[in-house]
């Protein structure tokens, strides 16, 4: 891996992926995204990993896509490159994915953070979709996820003007979970990941799947999907252990089975 750093056990059952193009403010080139896709796929299959934290550095989570790779491309070139198939694979990550964001999260960087399940932001974090300023528009989910998070009016203003918002504004409108001092943002993400990693991996996977379905289906379909996954948890050893531990007034020991 040239552009990312992977620590499989940064904390018990918690893996860390760090974007590592500091000179380019972690601009998302094709190779970095392919490395990220492959790392997430591997961690998803690792039974020792129950949650994943994705971060950049204090100056930038990711300042956007690598414009140099796209500047001379035609529409047909972009169609053949098919860069968004990589994003589609990242979206399919089954384990909880938490973004620890400090500094710039712009363009593709904002879209990558929103692809994660939760976002912990430092006080210096900035979120925005400035693509309009270079004659294009968001293409990796920016118009869709930002609108779902902020509402039409605010998302429209950000997308059509390219303006960014602060971490506090993002927290106020529900884009991020919480804002903490810069020096604590990664530790706070580990704390959240650690809480989730203590719970049943089976139930966590099914619950994540159900929450995501809320954004992709009508209410009745979503309720049906949720109910199916609820019943499915009763096929797991974790459910038996969890309920037995509750009755016996002890801490459960979940094995992901």
Catalytic-role residue among 108, 109, 142, 242: 108
For 118, the token pair is 């939760």
Q: Is 248 an active-site residue?
A: no
What backbone phi and psi angles, to 5 degrees, belong to 209? -60, -40
Catalytic-role residue among 27, 39, 131, 242: 131
Helices (H), the chain: 30-45, 75-81, 84-91, 108-115, 142-150, 152-161, 167-172, 185-197, 201-213, 219-233, 237-247
Catalytic-role residue among 65, 170, 189, 193: 65
From residue 191, alpha-carbon distances to 44, 149, 188 in Å are 20, 23, 5
Catalytic-role residue among 51, 62, 107, 111: 111
Q: Is 108 an active-site residue?
A: yes
What backbone phi and psi angles, to 5 degrees, belong to 6? -120, 125
55 neighbors 18 (Cβ within 8 angstroms): yes
Rounded Cα distance between 62 and 92, Å, is: 21
Angle, helices 108-115/84-91, rounded to nearest 10 degrees: 30
For 31, the token pair is 């190779």
Q: Is 131 an active-site residue?
A: yes
Of 22, 190, 175, 31, nearest to 110 (Cα)?
A: 175
Q: Is 2 an active-site residue?
A: no
Catalytic residues: 65, 108, 111, 131
């Amino acid at each position: 891996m040239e552009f990312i750093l992977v620590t499989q056990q940064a904390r018990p059952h918690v893996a860390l992926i760090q974007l590592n193009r500091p000179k380019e403010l972690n601009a998302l080139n094709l190779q970095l995204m392919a490395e990220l896709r492959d790392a997430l796929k591997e961690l998803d299959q690792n039974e020792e990993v129950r949650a994943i934290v994705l971060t950049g550095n204090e100056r930038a989570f990711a300042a956007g896509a690598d414009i140099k790779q796209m500047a001379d491309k035609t529409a047909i070139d972009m169609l053949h490159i098919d860069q968004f198939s990589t994003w589609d694979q990242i979206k399919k990550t089954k384990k909880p994915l938490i973004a620890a964001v400090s500094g710039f999260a712009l363009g593709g960087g904002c879209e990558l953070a929103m692809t994660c399940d939760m976002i912990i932001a430092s006080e210096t974090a900035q979120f925005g979709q400035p693509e309009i300023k270079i004659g294009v528009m968001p293409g990796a989910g920016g118009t869709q996820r930002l609108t779902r998070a902020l509402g039409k009016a605010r998302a429209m203003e950000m997308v059509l003007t390219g303006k960014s918002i602060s971490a506090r504004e993002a927290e106020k409108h529900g884009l991020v979970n919480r804002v903490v001092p810069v020096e604590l943002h990664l530790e706070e993400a580990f704390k959240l990941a650690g809480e989730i990693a203590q719970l049943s991996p089976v139930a966590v996977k099914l619950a994540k799947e159900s929450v995501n379905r809320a954004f992709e289906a009508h209410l009745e379909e979503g309720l049906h999907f949720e109910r199916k996954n609820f019943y499915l948890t009763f096929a797991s050893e974790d459910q038996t252990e969890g309920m037995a531990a509750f009755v016996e007034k002890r801490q459960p020991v979940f094995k992901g089975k």
